[in-house]
Amino acid sequence: MMFFKNKSMLRNHHKGERVFILGNGPSIKEEDLSFLKNEVSIGINASTLLEKDWGFTQDYYCVSDARFINHPEKRSLATNLLSKKTKRFIRADLRDSDDPSLRGSTFYVPHLLRDGFSKNLAVGYYYGSTTTMLAIQIAYHLGFQDVYLLGVDLRYSGENPRFYKESSVQLEDSFTSVQLMNIAKAGEIFREESRGLYICSKNSFLRPYLPYVNLGDKI
């Protein structure tokens, strides 16, 4: 099993490159993701379901939500349905519940406080009440120049707040302001370093806080 004890571990491994983070909002179903066969991607939670439909393999995958390790319906999305080529980043305190056979391809990252931004995953990450924050901090740690958020809608309403069906729908409206604040702060940090954090979801609540990019203009 791997921990971020070595500060140089994967640090700036993708310096200057671009990456696409795959959120779980409904808008991601509207995108043609076949282009990801030739791009670097970071998946989140149920993004594993998108691989078969579009014929790509996630380069990285992260989970900070215990449900995707402990829930009987969702566990497979983070374990046996995930490609063995994919490097996993899992919240450290979920290690004992994780599939032992995957520990060789998994980085267990300690979580710090709720609000903030970590520039070094050797120290840990700020969870910001959304796994998207872990993905963004992974992208920063790996050195990506431009980071594009797909399916990060943050609109938790109706029966289908996510692109996939849930037997028990969990709405997270009470955390939306926390999520917005932390992702907006992450955007400021990227801008200060002349790097880009962009939102590609047209109706995302992040539109006022991050620059919007039409995905079709980037592929």
Query: pLDDT for 58-93, tens place per residue?
Result: 999 999 999 899 988 899 999 999 999 999 999 999
Measured distance CA(85)–CA(48) in Å, rounded: 13
Half-sphere exposure of 46 (CA within 13 A, CB side): 17
What is the token pair recorded at 147?
């980071």
CATH of the domain at 44: 3.90.1480
Half-sphere exposure of 136 (CA within 13 A, CB side): 31
Measured distance CA(45)–CA(65) in Å, rounded: 8
Measured distance CA(100)–CA(109) in Å, rounded: 16
Could you give the 3-state DSSP secondary structure of residue 138? helix
Number of domains the chain contains: 1
Predicted confidence at residue 6, as pLDDT, reads 47
14-36 pLDDT per residue, tens: 999 999 999 999 999 999 999 99
Band of residue 131 on the pLDDT scale cut at 50, 70, 90: very high
pTM (2 d.p.): 0.93
Measured distance CA(217)–CA(200) in Å, rounded: 10
How are the residues of the chain apportioned to helix, strand and coil, as percentages rounded to the nearest 5?
35, 15, 50
Percent of the chain with pLDDT over 70: 91
User: Per-residue pLDDT for 53 more than 60?
Assistant: yes
Query: Which residue is listed with tokens 């592929």?
Result: 219
Q: Which residues contact 140 (CB under 8 A, 6 or more apart)?
A: 117, 119, 147, 186, 189, 190
Q: Averaged over 1-17, what is the pLDDT?
A: 71
Q: Averaged over 101-105, what is the pLDDT?
A: 91
Measured distance CA(10)–CA(31) in Å, rounded: 30
What is the token pair recorded at 61?
């995958």
Instruction: Write down the mean pLDDT value for the chain.
Output: 91
Q: Is 145 exposed, middle or buried (0-12, 13-18, 19+ CB in 10 A)?
A: middle
Q: Show the domain range for 21.
A: 2-217
